Amino acid sequence: MQNQASYITFLTRLADNNLILGHRLSEWCGHGPELEQDIALINVALDLIGQSRFLYQKIGDLEQKTEDQIAYFRDAGQFYNLLLCELPNEHFGTTILRQYLYDQFHYLVLEQLISSSDEFLVSYAKKSIKEVEYHVMQSKAWVIRLGDGTEKSHQKIKASLDKLWPYTDEFFMMDSVEDPLLEAEKIKKQWLVKVNQTLSEATLEAPEQTWPQKGGKWGKHTEHLGFILADMQFLQRAYPDAKAW
């Protein structure tokens, strides 16, 4: 059984991944390449933010805080999301590939948590995996469509793959917080099989791994997170007692 501090850190990492990536996806609202995809991206964002709220509420119960205090009154160094989740959207191909790489990892994490001895984690995983199964299906289909599409779409998503791939190693850099709850090597092996199958269908190939980008889950971030938080937290910090009508 983990101590409470490690347990809270574990929950916070899960929640922060979903909140920050959900916020990134919400930036596409009204800007999608087609109406159906615009709506799909926002629905995924809502799913992820809903999952983060479920986790923040649990953390709040343990720390005697509200979910708003946890989400809106921490600085960048107190967020523990993966670096991949905070990277800019750039063009649609970059967004959808970032989403697929995370979705496939996210699904495998939830699959393991369903077998956890922790009742809360089991409840969270069973509820969330139904949504994430759709996320994988949707993002995977678009990666294949773009990779095996026109020459232009192929070249653009290939460039995105080269750029994003170094951030994927952080998925599997697990420490004493995660080791009791997740099997990193098993997740990595399954993830590589699934991702390489998808890339093959998309006529793409995983790049040679370069220097891995890491630090997010330990509070060390790119400059991009600060801009996300400035946007996301402004209202609550400027008007901390504001209430919705």
Distance CA 28, CA 68 (A): 23
91 is a domain residue:
yes
pLDDT per residue as tens digits for the range 14-56 = 999 999 999 999 998 877 777 777 788 989 999 999 999 999 9
Answer whether 56's CB lies under 8 Å from 124's CB: no
Answer whether 206's CB lies under 8 Å from 165's CB: yes
pLDDT per residue as tens digits for the range 95-154 = 999 999 999 999 999 999 999 999 999 999 999 999 999 999 999 999 999 999 999 999
Q: What average pLDDT score do residues 183-209 get?
A: 96
Q: Give the residue, 2 or 95, on which the prediction is more confident.
A: 95
Q: Which domain holds residue 230?
A: 4-238
Nearest to 169 by CA among 215, 135, 131, 202: 215
Mean pLDDT of the chain: 94
Query: For the domain that residue 94 is a member of, what is the CATH number?
Result: 1.20.1260.10
pTM for this model (two decimals): 0.94
Answer whether 84's CB lies under 8 Å from 98's CB: yes
* Two tokens, residue 239: 């008007």
Total residue count of the chain as it appears in this document: 245
Q: What average pLDDT score do residues 231-245 get?
A: 81
Amino acid at 93: G
Split into its structural domains, the chain has a count of 1
Amino acid at 169: D
> What SS3 class is residue 50?
helix
244 is a domain residue:
no
In this prediction, residue 177 has a pLDDT band, given cuts at 50, 70 and 90, of: very high
243 is a domain residue:
no
83 is a domain residue:
yes
Q: What is the pLDDT of residue 103?
A: 98
